[in-house]
Amino acid sequence: MGTCHQPREGKKVYTGVLTADHPKAKKKDNLPALDQVFRVVVRTSDYKGNPYLIPDTEVEVFWTNLYEDPETVINLYHDHGTSEQFHSELKSDMNVERLPSGKFIVNEIILHTAMIAFNTLRLIGQRALQFQELLPYRHKGKRKRLRKVIDDLIRISCKVVSHARKLAIKIWEKDPWYELFKQLYYCL
């Protein structure tokens, strides 16, 4: 069933959709049918070409009501851990775990403000990783946590100086984050 493709010799991948009744539905219930998106991987040999005595079969099934192609649904389910990490960072690093008001409109404004700050910090963190040579330490990850962005690049030591009726920000030139901060400032 489904479509089959063979990425290499000895490995076949079947993907497709099967529409069936809701798993909790009884005969008298009027629950809509759900799609079962599946991926079945059958390996008859390893990646080096050594044959298996018994074929190795790996099955993934996802119950969903998303109207997307099977590959998109499978990729979304595989990437759900990343969205949970983002949610955790929003709650813990930005301290939005408990909304302060009992009024929905006030909490909506606070959540929108937190969303703008979250996206800005995420952008700064992603841009910072593009300048690997300027980072004071090695970073092997694909993204920086918001707490690290706040600690490293937002809370950079500086002082406000008033001179000739103008305000200026002075940053210590020996700060390990100074060069990266300067490059990010010019980029953004």
Rounded Cα distance between 164 and 182, Å, is: 24
Helix (H) or strand (E) holding 52: strand 51-64
DSSP H helix total and E strand total for the chain:
5, 6
Is residue 38 within 8 Å of 61, Cβ to Cβ? Answer: yes
pTM beyond 0.95: the answer is no
Tell me, what amino acid is at 116? I
pLDDT of 12 higher than 90: yes
Rounded Cα distance between 76 and 81, Å, is: 10
- Weakest-pLDDT range from 27-36, 61-70, 74-83: 27-36
Kindly tell me the sign of the dihedral angle through the C-alpha atoms of 186, 119, 176, 180. Answer: negative
How many other C-beta atoms lie within 10 A of the C-beta of residue 35?
A: 19
Per-residue pLDDT tens over the stretch 113-172: 999 999 999 999 999 988 888 888 877 777 888 888 988 888 888 899 999 999 998 988
